Amino acid sequence: MTLRKTPLNSYHKELKGRIVPFAGWEMPVQYTSIIEEHLAVRKSAGIFDVSHMGEISVKGENASNFLDSMTLNSVSDLVDGQVQYNAVPNNDGGLIDDITLYKVQSDDFFVVANASNYEKVYEHLRKHAPAEITVTNESDSYHQIALQGPVAESILSSCLKLNFSNIQYYHFDDIYYNNKLLRISRTGYTGEDGFEIYSDIEMGIRLWNDLLTCGKDKGLIPCGLGSRDSLRLEARYPLYGHELNETLTPVESGIGWIVKEKQIKYPGYDRIIDHKKNGVKNKIYGFLLKESGVPRDGYDVVDDSGKVIGKVLSGGFSPILKCGMGTTLLPSNFKKGDPIYIQIRDKKIKSEITAGAFVNGTARKK
């Protein structure tokens, strides 16, 4: 299969980025080291190429009602300029994808979906859209970069000579910069304050280079998929194909907080609402290792006797906590503090169930 390349592919290679295949794309996994890039985002700032993500427009009269009928969260509650974390369910109550949903105005919405799923999301929405709704896959027209970290706002403001302090967390603003439209969204996937910036391709390339130049003295460095994954795991953000999939309901997956009861029923509604009201047999937990070791995706989770009770869904090393961390699907009677064990080769590594984020970054303070 021929891998697709983002418009910044040649720049990643110039910066000595290590390129790997990811969701059908050539993407940089790291430039220097995952830990160095991870710590830069936690302490100062990092910049990510996320142009492999998909962008879909949904426009027309009653677009809000249509999206309410296709997604879990309450779209009708959004105000212009607000961003919402949401998900698109399938007919069985599993997930086609988790998305971010932008309300531009009452008849104009902007959907951002994962690289591996945006074509499925587009086809699903297009298939179900009534005649008055236009669903357009605009992914090839957009460039997206993510500027993340405690000093992200300072870097962006100094680079563009504009004030972005008025953009609240999970809100966005459309601005013109050098006669080009930019969509500046105070969102991200790292747990830190920061922005996701949408533009045309030409402006995206220019911004990448300008931001790296403007932010160099503030500690800004380019970051790859490796640190993006360790950052999102520390923040306990789910990843499609790991915590989220076509089989588990959002309640089982740990994002039941976005599930809303609605008069307009979405696909899989009855099963999802039943799980929300009555609970589930199994759900996803976070855990931290109490001994040295790094849990990897697919490792067995065992009890004290060595009996397999689950698998590691996402696993890695926390550069902030300096220990192994991960997620797993277990029976719902587990609670914070309960011991479990991760089978790493021939050793049972003692671990402990946790609650909430492993690391709280600056995003939640906005």
Q: Which tens digit of pLDDT belongs to each residue from 3-25?
A: 999 999 999 999 999 999 999 99
Q: Strand 180-185 vs strand 172-177: parallel, antiparallel, or unpaired? A: antiparallel
Extents of the domains making up the chain: 4-51+142-234, 54-138, 281-355
Query: Do the beta carbons of residue 30 and residue 55 sit within 8 Å?
Result: no
Q: Check for a shared fold between 4-51+142-234 and 281-355.
A: no
pLDDT at 366 over 90: no
Burial class (CB in 10 A: 0-12, 13-18, 19+), 117: buried
Per-residue tokens: 104: 């531009």
pLDDT digits (tens, 9 = 90+) for 111-146: 999 999 999 999 999 999 999 999 999 999 999 999
Confidence class for position 365, pLDDT limits 50, 70, 90: low
Question: 41-59: per-residue pLDDT in tens?
Answer: 999 999 999 999 999 999 9
What confidence tier does 255 reach under pLDDT thresholds 50, 70, 90?
very high
Identify the pLDDT of residue 1: 75
Edge-to-edge strand list for the sheet holding 25-30:
4-5, 25-30, 18-22
Q: Which fold has domain 4-51+142-234?
A: Gyrase A; domain 2 (3.30.1360)
Q: What average pLDDT does range 181-193 have in this prediction?
A: 98
Kindly tell me if the per-residue pLDDT of 110 is higher than 90: yes
Q: Are 117 and 24 in contact (CB under 8 A)?
A: no
pLDDT tens string 63-105: 999 999 999 999 999 999 999 999 999 999 999 999 999 999 9
Reported as a single tens digit per residue, the pLDDT across 312-349 is 999 999 999 999 999 999 999 999 999 999 999 999 99
Q: Please state whether the predicted TM-score (pTM) of the whole model is above 0.85.
A: yes
User: Of 249 and 1, which is predicted with more confidence?
Assistant: 249
Q: What pLDDT was estimated at residue 364?
A: 64
Instruction: Determine whether domain 281-355 maps to CATH 2.40.30.110.
Output: yes
Rounded Cα distance, 289 and 325, in Å:
6
Return the percentage of the chain with pLDDT > 90, whole number: 98
pLDDT digits (tens, 9 = 90+) for 293-302: 999 999 999 9
Q: How does pLDDT run across 164-182, given as a tens digit for each residue?
A: 999 999 999 999 999 999 9
Mean pLDDT of the chain: 97
Amino acid, single-letter form, for residue 188? G
Q: The domain 54-138 belongs to what CATH superfamily?
A: Aminomethyltransferase beta-barrel domains (3.30.70.1400)
